[in-house]
């Protein structure tokens, strides 16, 4: 490894901090969380969000309780500009939610950014940034320190010219790549900006100090933040903010130590999306506080719905081992772990009964489970079902090795319930062939049921659906949506409302012998379940899965 090509950050940025208070500080309350999924996270997507996805994500953030949301980079794209205008022209943003928009320090782009927010009744934050680190000054901007200082101050004056008279507007400045910028220079420019913008306690300026590219251990970032915290002018009129990235995999630690060091505000993405290895994961940060007994001030009571929405909007999957939200984070495969969890749950119930305190109110101290899964909308079924199957041959392994089926993790858990019922009835181990037969009967059989798909066809403008219900048929036409959405709409019209929560497609085999299978998670009324479809095409398999869901009925 040619490690000699790289330099220790201490050789580039020496922090003049002698006495540190952050090592003795404690996290006692939540900072202000600012999700940047709609700007920074959106820019990092191979397929940026369309307007519908941006709106759905924004509504999720509002529902979760975020009070300040960065909604876009309105001078960078028409989609972002139009989304900001949508906020101005509708009531989708509650009155207590501040709207943040992002702009570089360039006059024409600042003017367009301010134009995008005119008419917004909420508090608005104009967030201006410029890179300040030496490599960026030399290679990207081609400016020395004096020239860069004037560029930033000129941008600040432009912000004042275009937005200074708007009573609901506050200002934010980010010295991009703060963590690689000389401390004295960045302190000087931040103080100049708070003077220029006349920061007061009534109208504070946000100074956001990004670890744009993570290059050092988290203690270095903590030192940098504490130095700024202790030396900024007008400190009582400044909201000190951080924006860590995750290049070294320590973005969470950087953010937590930065808050210990004096930061009051954290920018990041809900599940850590962003360029390269991502922005800091503010869901993990918030739930880390929850696990320490500190109210995170954000609602994660239905984390699976949050995950589904984020996956839909970003088109990115959440890893099964992702902290708190991953499908496997409350699952133990090890026999010793399973035994400890079972004993811990039993002891928890006994303590609750002896004390007269409800189990949901009792102190949580279960081995291997740092929080109660019920806090985030999870049951104990994943642990219990996987435990009950851990010695019965490996359902998922057999389905994959014998038949090539890669069942989604939650479908594995659902199927385990059916396998458990089968083995309880027979008292025998279940062989691979029996396992496949049970799977087909449970999730794939479309021969029985009150409703059938008699015919469907689609053109560029319309999808036609013909359903059979007993001896009658129902024909409907659907415009502007695809065949799967058209089928769910047609089923809803005849009393079979299927809500698709998520789907995964898989191809088995290759060429003319290939088979497509769709694994579909759905909701009908208060009931959720799984259905599958199989065909020679992904689309037909998806339609078959929806039809199977419609015919599953309560209790299937």
The domain ranges of the chain are: 37-314, 347-379, 389-442, 451-552
pLDDT of residue 142: 96
pLDDT of residue 416: 83
pLDDT of residue 338: 63
> How many CB atoms sit inside 10 A of residue 437's CB?
12
pLDDT of residue 336: 67
Closest by CA to 374, choosing from 385, 359, 386, 389, is: 359
Could you give the count of Cα atoms lying within 13 Å of 460 in the half-sphere of its Cβ? 0
Q: Dig out the tokens for 159 from the structure.
A: 């912000």
- In sequence order, the β-bridge partners of residue 35 are 268
pLDDT of residue 431: 72
**In this structure, are strands 499-508 and 515-524 parallel, antiparallel, or unpaired?**
antiparallel
Residue the block writes with tokens 């811990």: 344
Strand order in the sheet with 527-535: 499-508, 515-524, 527-535
Q: Dig out the tokens for 415 from the structure.
A: 């199927």
String of DSSP letters for 47-87: SPPPHHHHHHHHHHHHHHT-SEEEEE-TTT-HHHHHHHHHH
Q: Is 244 helix (H, G, I), strand (E, B) or coil?
A: strand
Q: Is 130 helix (H, G, I), strand (E, B) or coil?
A: strand
pLDDT of residue 413: 84
Q: Dig out the tokens for 160 from the structure.
A: 């004042």
Q: Which contiguous run of DSSP H or E holds residue 131?
A: strand 124-131
> How many CB atoms sit inside 10 A of residue 520's CB?
27
pLDDT of residue 425: 75
pLDDT tens by residue, the chain, 556 residues: 898 888 777 667 788 888 999 999 999 999 999 999 999 999 999 999 999 999 999 999 999 999 999 999 999 999 999 999 999 999 999 999 999 999 999 999 999 999 999 999 999 999 999 999 999 999 999 999 999 999 999 999 999 999 999 999 999 999 999 999 999 999 999 999 999 999 999 999 999 999 999 999 999 999 999 999 999 999 999 999 999 999 999 999 999 999 999 999 999 999 999 999 999 999 999 999 999 999 999 999 999 999 999 999 999 999 999 999 998 898 776 656 766 777 888 899 899 999 999 999 999 999 989 999 999 998 765 564 333 343 333 567 667 777 889 899 889 888 888 888 877 777 665 677 888 999 999 999 766 788 999 999 988 889 999 999 988 999 999 998 889 999 999 999 999 999 999 999 999 877 667 799 999 999 998 889 999 999 989 999 999 999 999 988 653 3
pLDDT of residue 284: 98
Q: Does domain 389-442 have CATH number 1.10.10.10?
A: no
Q: 328: exposed, middle or buried (C-beta count within 10 Å: 0-12, 13-18, 19+)?
A: middle
pLDDT of residue 435: 83
Q: Dig out the tokens for 102 from the structure.
A: 């992002």
Assign domain 451-552 to its CATH superfamily. Answer: Alpha-isopropylmalate synthase LeuA, regulatory domain (3.30.160.270)
- In sequence order, the β-bridge partners of residue 207 are 173, 240
Pick the CATH number of 37-314 from 3.20.20.70, 3.30.300.30, 3.40.640.10, 3.20.190.10: 3.20.20.70
């Amino acid at each position: 490894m040619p490690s000699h090509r790289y330099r220790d950050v201490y050789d580039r940025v020496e922090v003049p901090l002698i006495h540190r208070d952050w090592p003795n500080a404690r996290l006692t309350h939540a900072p202000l969380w600012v999700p940047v999924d709609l700007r920074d996270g959106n820019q990092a997507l191979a397929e940026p969000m369309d307007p519908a996805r941006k709106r759905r994500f924004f509504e999720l953030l509002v529902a979760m309780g975020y009070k300040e949301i960065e909604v876009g980079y309105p001078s960078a794209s028409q989609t972002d500009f139009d989304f900001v205008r949508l906020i101005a022209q509708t009531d989708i943003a509650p009155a207590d939610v501040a709207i943040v928009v992002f702009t570089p320090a360039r006059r024409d782009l600042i003017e367009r950014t301010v134009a995008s927010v005119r008419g917004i009744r909420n508090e608005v934050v104009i967030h201006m940034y410029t890179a300040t680190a030496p490599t960026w000054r030399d290679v990207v901007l081609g400016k020395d320190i004096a020239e860069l200082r004037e560029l930033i101050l000129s941008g600040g004056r432009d912000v004042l010219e275009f937005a200074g008279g708007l009573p609901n507007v506050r200002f934010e400045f980010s010295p991009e790549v703060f963590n690689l910028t000389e401390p004295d220079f960045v302190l000087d420019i931040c103080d100049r900006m708070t003077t220029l913008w006349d920061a007061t306690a009534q109208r504070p300026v946000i100074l956001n100090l990004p670890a744009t590219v993570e290059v050092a251990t988290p203690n270095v970032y903590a030192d940098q933040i504490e130095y700024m915290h202790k030396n900024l002018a007008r400190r009582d009129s400044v909201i000190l903010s951080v924006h860590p990235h995750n290049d070294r995999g320590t973005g969470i630690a950087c953010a937590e130590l930065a808050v210990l060091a004096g930061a009051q505000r954290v920018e990041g993405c809900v599940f850590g999306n962003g360029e390269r290895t991502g922005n800091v994961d503010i869901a993990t940060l918030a739930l880390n506080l929850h696990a320490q007994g500190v109210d995170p001030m954000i609602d994660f009571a239905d984390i699976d719905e949050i995950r589904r929405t984020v996956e839909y909007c970003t088109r990115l999957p959440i890893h099964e081992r992702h902290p708190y939200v991953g499908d496997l984070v409350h699952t133990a495969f090890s026999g010793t772990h399973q035994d400890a969890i079972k004993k811990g749950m039993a002891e928890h119930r006994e303590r609750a009964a002896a004390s007269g305190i409800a189990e949901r109110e009792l102190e949580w101290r279960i081995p291997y489970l740092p929080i109660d899964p019920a806090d985030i909308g999870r049951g104990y079924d994943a642990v219990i079902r996987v435990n009950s199957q851990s010695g019965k041959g490996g359902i998922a392994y057999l389905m994959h090795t014998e038949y090539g089926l890669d069942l989604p993790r939650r479908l594995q858990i659902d199927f385990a319930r059916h396998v458990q019922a089968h083995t309880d009835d027979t008292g025998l181990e279940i062989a691979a062939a029996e396992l496949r037969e049970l799977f087909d009967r449970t999730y794939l059989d479309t021969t029985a049921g009150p409703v059938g798909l008699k015919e469907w066809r689609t053109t560029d403008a319309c999808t036609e659906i013909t359903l059979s219900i007993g001896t009658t048929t129902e024909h409907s036409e659907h415009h502007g949506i695809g065949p799967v959405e058209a089928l769910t709409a047609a089923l809803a019209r005849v009393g079979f409302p299927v809500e698709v929560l998520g789907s995964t497609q898989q191809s088995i085999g290759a060429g003319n012998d290939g088979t497509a299978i769709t694994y579909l998670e759905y909701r009908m009324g208060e009931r959720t379940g799984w259905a599958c479809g199989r065909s020679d095409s992904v689309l037909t398999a998806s339609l078959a899965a929806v039809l199977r869901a419609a015919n599953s009925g309560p209790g299937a």
